[in-house]
Structure 1
């Protein structure tokens, strides 16, 4: 069974302006287990692990000035399309979060 769950990360301090952001991420049970295991191996809780992964992607984008090719799962792609259709714009943060989650899944699987 591949049930999708929604989990939240919240109370993230970003940069100098100390703003708090909340992100909802849709994950399958397998994805959640994989990410949880990767987070445990890194000594972080799941929220902190996901935040660090997203910050790593953001730092790479800032260093190179380019957004890397974003490979995301079909589930993530559908979620991004739905969210983008609601706003009428491409939300790069959603793409970056999905990409970092996929990278974490790959890293945890290897």
Structure 2
């Protein structure tokens, strides 16, 4: 799923990032920035494009957020003996381009990420 104005991106781009999970969320931001959700890596990635490849500019860490024990998806929100995952799955950028809004599949929540400071 991609969102935003992709006209500033080259037609074909590629990148390889070791030990990084990527999920389904993509959003085109201002000035050709591309944001991707990290799935099991629990992060949001910001890329720029250079010569047909993606260049990683920043990683925004995302943390699991508690929700009521009775609330779905408690049953599949992870092994409670291990660290819990936020598992970012979708992302959109705000209209002013200052924030990204990321849904957490296993946290059943929404994170508002300040793209300048990284604060959530």
Structure number with higher helix proportion? 1
TM-score normalised by the shorter chain: which range applies? Answer: under 0.3
Structure number with higher strand proportion? 2
By relative contact order (CA 8 Å, sep 6+), the higher-ranking structure is 1
TM-score, normalisation: structure 2? 0.24
Larger radius of gyration: 2
TM-score, normalisation: structure 1? 0.25
